[in-house]
């Protein structure tokens, strides 16, 4: 018999979050999931994308086609700096700026397939530069502004990028490794020209980007590409080895457009805020491409997390759709419900979450304080777009990933690629061929092939599917804990832990044990003002025994001030385990610092 999980217990105690048509502020784009799924085809979906004689360009569909019709005077980007600077750009202005950047790339002889990388914070240059690179037919790459010299060298070295765009504040990190990058010819620097003139790297052109752009035409004939031509690449870290370059094609815009429409419920009169950095795939797919192809206005904040600033942004810009990470939601929850009441957040109609599985408790908290639940969804850098989701019109089972996007076939398979019955734990797998599926791993074809088995894309995540077709995340394949012969998913233990009144966050690992094979160890961050003690550890252990299972409680608990997480908010359990066992930390380039 399948043991009771935390998520199942919540369903029995509090019920599914039911959706009623009368409660929708606006009728959802995907009103009838079953009907749309039955009739859906990617051939039909691509009719929402502009092709030119069987060719297309993702940037054209994101911005240019909006600039050429009635939306040209509509705001596309509301930008807010860390020091309260404010700018806004219409679709027409973004189109012109991206065209100037494309013309500049032409002057530098950047051609189809050449790599142009961006090492920037969330400044406007990043957005129009990315689009201009795609217009030119080159491959755009983005890097987090928090990266250090080694992470920069790894990405620019492997990609053999010819041009890098960066800021004066980040230049020194580039200068430390530039001599190891023979393919890097030019570094374009934002800011004032006099500041750029002081920057030097032997053997490299260091030029001021704003001055160069002023000389460029605002008109550019966007190159229409073969749908499978490469458009952008992102580096993602694994457990071992250097980060791998995941490459996506222009065809990805079809998937990103449809998923933004159905999952995020975006439309052309929305003000939308995706809190992800474009150094992460969500920032590319749903802050630039899918969101703008649906005509929504995007809010970008180039500052650090601050609950009051975040609520102020929602109030001031009248944000309708908010897409953020579970870590941020838990941090907002820790700041208290009273803070929420100080702001007018009535513009919100839809909340969504991504980055790591969303525990049930933050979903209930969102319903309590915003009157709206957060909708979790699942996808990966390699998938290029959302594949499994909770939808605006669909009932939510708190803790579930939801159901596959129309056009997506998902299953649970064993290690040989054979489908498993309902309720059985196995590998979460997707039938290949969706438009935003990665095209390759840059210069590592054997790594790309390793993702596929018996005509399935094997995600590396463990999950199960229930009788109603909802998928439930258990953990990464290499994170699942086997203790005393029982398999335990770290996510369900973490979910149980944060149900405790004194816990705000938790990370769980399996620790080798001579008697049980592994024991469960939890790293726990306590709510502000709560003092750690042995008695509290015992109380937390008893709580988990009672609310999850007697065998699934953490036999060891360590209180910590912060958990290691990626900038997308994903808990890096492998780092917790490596530190615990005294092992090498591997690639830590995507690690967030709080």
Rounded distance between C-alpha atoms, residue 192 and residue 201, angstroms: 18
- pLDDT tens by residue, 282-311: 999 999 999 999 999 999 999 999 999 999
Q: How far is CA 69 from CA 100, 372, 583, in A?
A: 20, 34, 57
Q: What is the DSSP letter of 25?
A: S
Half-sphere exposure of 311 (CA within 13 A, CB side): 20
pLDDT attached to residue 114:
98
Does residue 108 have a pLDDT over 60? yes
Q: What is the pLDDT of residue 387?
A: 98
Q: State residue 6's pLDDT score.
A: 35
CA angle 312, 317, 320 (to 5 degrees): 105
**What DSSP line would sit under 31-64, residue for residue?**
--HHHHHHH--HHHHGGGS--BTTBB-HHIIIII
Average pLDDT over residues 438-462: 96
Average the pLDDT over 186-195 and give the result.
96
Q: Is the pLDDT of residue 13 over 70?
A: no
Using alpha carbons, list the distances in angstroms from residue 372 to 1, 340, 359, 367: 35, 13, 16, 4
Alpha-carbon dihedral 317, 321, 324, 329, rounded to 10 degrees: 80
Residue 5 has pLDDT above 60, yes or no: no
| Separation CA 577–CA 579 (nearest Å) | 5
Residues ≥6 apart with Cβ < 8 Å to 174: 119, 149, 152, 164, 166, 187, 201
Query: What distance in Å separates the CA atoms of residue 519 and residue 557, rounded to the nearest whole number?
Result: 11
- At 389-404, the pLDDT tens digits run 999 999 999 999 999 9
Mean pLDDT within 407-428: 96
Report the C-alpha gap between 248 and 438 in whole angstroms.
5
Determine how β-strand 230-236 pairs with β-strand 139-143: parallel
Pull the structure tokens for residue 204: 């490299």
Of the listed ranges 101-110, 321-330, 481-490, 523-532, the least confidently predicted one is 481-490
The overall average pLDDT reported for the chain is: 92
What pLDDT score does 587 carry?
66
Q: In the 8-state DSSP scheme, what is residue 48?
A: G
Residue 10 pLDDT exceeds 60: no
Q: Please write the tens of the pLDDT for every residue from 196-227.
A: 999 999 999 999 999 999 999 999 999 999 99
Residues 6+ apart with CB under 8 A from 593: 146
DSSP state of 108: T
Q: What is the pLDDT of residues 346-389, one digit of tens each?
A: 999 999 999 878 889 899 999 999 999 999 999 999 999 999 99
Lowest mean pLDDT among 172-181, 259-268, 483-492: 483-492
75 pLDDT tier (thresholds 50, 70, 90): very high
Q: How confident is the model at residue 12 (pLDDT cuts 50, 70, 90)?
A: very low
- Where exactly are the structural domains of the chain? 481-592
Length of the chain: 594
Question: CA-CA distances (angstroms) from residue 113 to 148, 153, 307?
Answer: 26, 20, 41
512-542 residues labelled b (16+ CB within 10 A) or e (exposed): eeeebebbbbbbbbbeeeeeeeeebbeebbe
Q: What is the pLDDT of residues 29-55, one digit of tens each?
A: 999 999 999 999 999 999 999 999 999
In three state form, how does the secondary structure of 248-309 look? EECCHHHHHHHHHHHCCCCCCCCEEEECCCCCCHHHHHHHHHHHHHCCCEEEEEECCCCHHH
Q: In the prediction, which pLDDT does 9 show?
A: 37
pTM of the model: 0.86
pLDDT of residue 586: 66
Predicted local confidence at residue 3, as pLDDT = 32
Q: Domain 481-592 maps to which CATH number in 3.40.190.10, 3.40.50.300, 1.10.357.10, 3.30.300.30? A: 3.30.300.30
Q: Tell me the average pLDDT across 50-79.
A: 94
Question: What confidence score (pLDDT) does residue 591 get?
Answer: 60
More confident of the two residues 21 and 47: 47
pLDDT interval class at 238 (50, 70, 90): low
The answer to whether the beta carbons of residues 305 and 325 sit under 8 Å apart is no
Apex CA 358: angle with CA 487 and CA 81, to 5°?
140
Least confident of 197-206, 363-372, 411-420, 472-481: 472-481
Say whether 46 sits in a helix, a strand or coil: helix
Distance between first and last Cα of the chain: 42
């Amino acid at each position: 018999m399948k043991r009771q999980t935390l998520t199942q217990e919540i369903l029995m105690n509090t019920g599914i979050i039911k959706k009623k048509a009368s409660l929708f502020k606006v009728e959802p784009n995907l009103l009838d999931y079953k009907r749309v799924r039955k009739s859906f085809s990617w051939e039909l979906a691509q009719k929402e994308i502009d092709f030119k004689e069987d060719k297309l360009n993702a940037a054209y569909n994101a911005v240019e086609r909006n600039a050429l019709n009635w939306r040209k005077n509509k705001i596309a980007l509301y930008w807010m700096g860390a020091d309260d600077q404010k700018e806004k750009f219409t679709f027409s202005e973004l189109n012109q700026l991206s065209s100037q950047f494309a013309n500049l790339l032409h002057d530098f002889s950047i051609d189809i397939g050449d790599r142009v990388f961006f090492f920037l914070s969330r400044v406007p240059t990043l957005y129009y530069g990315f689009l201009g690179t795609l217009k030119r037919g080159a491959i755009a790459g983005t890097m987090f502004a928090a990266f250090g010299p080694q992470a920069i060298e790894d990405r620019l070295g492997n990609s053999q990028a010819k041009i890098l765009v960066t800021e004066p504040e980040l230049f020194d990190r580039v200068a430390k490794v530039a001599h190891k990058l023979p393919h890097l010819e030019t570094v374009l620097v934002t800011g004032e020209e006099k500041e750029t003139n002081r920057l030097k790297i032997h053997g490299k052109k260091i030029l001021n980007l704003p001055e160069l752009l002023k000389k460029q035409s605002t008109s550019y004939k966007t190159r229409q590409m073969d749908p499978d031509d490469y458009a952008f690449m992102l580096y993602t870290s694994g457990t071992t080895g250097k980060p791998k370059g995941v490459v996506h094609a222009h065809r990805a815009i079809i998937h990103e457009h449809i998923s933004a429409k159905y999952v995020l419920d975006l439309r052309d009169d929305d003000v939308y805020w995706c809190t992800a950095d474009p150094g992460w795939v969500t920032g590319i797919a749903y802050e630039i491409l899918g969101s703008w192809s649906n005509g929504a206005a995007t809010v970008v904040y180039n500052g650090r997390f601050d609950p009051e600033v975040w609520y102020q942004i929602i109030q001031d810009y009248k944000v309708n759709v908010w897409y953020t990470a579970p870590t941020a939601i838990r941090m907002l929850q820790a700041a208290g419900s009273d803070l929420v009441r100080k702001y007018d957040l009535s513009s919100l109609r839809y909340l969504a979450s991504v980055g790591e599985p969303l525990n049930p408790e933050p979903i209930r908290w969102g319903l309590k304080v915003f009157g709206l639940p957060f909708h979790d969804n699942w996808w990966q850098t390699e998938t290029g777009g959302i594949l499994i989701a909770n939808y605006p019109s669909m009932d939510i089972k708190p803790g579930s990933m939801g159901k596959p996007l129309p056009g997506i076939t998902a299953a649970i398979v064993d290690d040989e690629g054979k489908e498993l019955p309902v309720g059985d734990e196995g590998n979460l797998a997707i039938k290949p061929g969706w438009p935003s599926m990665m095209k390759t791993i840059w210069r590592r074809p054997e790594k790309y092939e390793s993702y596929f088995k018996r005509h399935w894309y094997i995600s590396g995540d463990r999950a199960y599917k229930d009788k109603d077709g909802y998928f439930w995340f258990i953990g990464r394949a290499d994170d699942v804990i086997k203790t005393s012969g029982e398999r335990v998913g770290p996510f369900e233990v973490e979910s149980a832990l944060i149900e405790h009144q004194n816990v705000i966050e938790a990370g769980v690992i399996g620790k080798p044990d001579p008697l049980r094979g592994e024991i469960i160890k939890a790293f726990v961050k306590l709510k502000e003002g709560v003092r750690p003690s042995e008695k509290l550890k015992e109380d937390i252990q008893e709580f988990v025994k009672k609310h999850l299972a007697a065998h699934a409680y953490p036999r060891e608990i360590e209180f910590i001030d912060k958990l290691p997480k990626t900038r997308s908010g994903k808990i890096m359990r492998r780092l917790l385990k490596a530190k615990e066992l005294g092992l090498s930390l591997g690639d830590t380039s995507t690690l967030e610092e709080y």
